[in-house]
Structure 1
């Protein structure tokens, strides 16, 4: 059967919550399924890193709830987000939970799914482009390349290596030859770099910091593992930013 180029609405009889991964930020990079869900929504609960440009094009009757979590500033507790989702869905609304990237890659998407299931609320998932892969690609950096690396690892850097709550084997990561992609790591980049060097990774390992990936303000800073912390401070880099560590950085232009 020939494919249609027409975007149609998601089934109008769905009454529950759709967890939508919105991609890295550029409104053009959300999936077609994600757009369909937005067009059919009664309520949109959105994150700071979601493609917020799309919200301006929604019907004015759609309720938009901003639950942005801003580093060292405004914060919406996850329990409050869960409560809002359950409350609106139980009121018979078709709710879209719009997140940046993919909701299952350090996005607490599965936590929300479990909370909704526990509350007896119908829920479905629409994956999104993870910023861990798409942002380096847009900056000209492949996370893998034949003959260069055979693996890449995506790591959350929201906790420093010496934090008692860290679940990451930093010495083990330091021994790997592949690409490391760090998310939420701007604040702890210096400490992470030091841990990797202490574990055996060369201080000369190429590194890149990609700020505001996919947006008009995107910029890339090329550095090294040893200079990562000082370069981030010197360039006044703020989140959101993706850090790529490995030989693939040398392939970028």
Structure 2
């Protein structure tokens, strides 16, 4: 842990934010605050005790004391600004994006805790019955995505991360496929990053496909805005049956009394 500060003054918090917000550190601020958002729409969170997290990839999340979903968030922040509002006795933290133009303004009335850390996580979560099975199914049967698709590589490494499935279609166009059980706005942004990286590496039109078992109208709009595609996959087509998977995992009571290890 780089720093832990309890009940800091506004000036000390301001210095910490200025020092670490634009760098690859995880910054957490607990306190009483209100949140204003301006972008494609407008929203406001009245005062409440919240956890504000700035991740090492510049993502910003504002969490309340309940629920796993953030009350407000930004997938990427281009510029940070922090100042002390002497008149209202508040610390004002602003995160701005340029594309699309968005602003999250967090006004702290009280700060209880500030932590700074640089986390390392090189493992990749693989869950049977979830995304890894879709990856394998596409590799074995590319027709799950579309007829004539040919898989070039799985887990193709790029500066933006690992592409789930890299393929070519019947017109010999490169296809970037991102697999997600529960896609969100971040998924769309990640797929766009992969497409951008492949466009730099190869010439010609690059297709981006989000492969998922379900999709919301909002995420579909995000995809269409960026010229990306969606293909629905039925989990029953990927895994023969969830029931058979469960049955294949025997418990102790399933073995004969004479069974020995």
- For Structure 1 versus Structure 2, the TM-score category normalised by the shorter chain is under 0.3
TM-score by length of 1: 0.27
Which structure exhibits the higher relative contact order, with contacts defined as CA atoms closer than 8 Å and separated by 6 or more residues? 1
Higher share in helix: 1
Higher share in strand: 2
**Structure with larger Rg:** 2
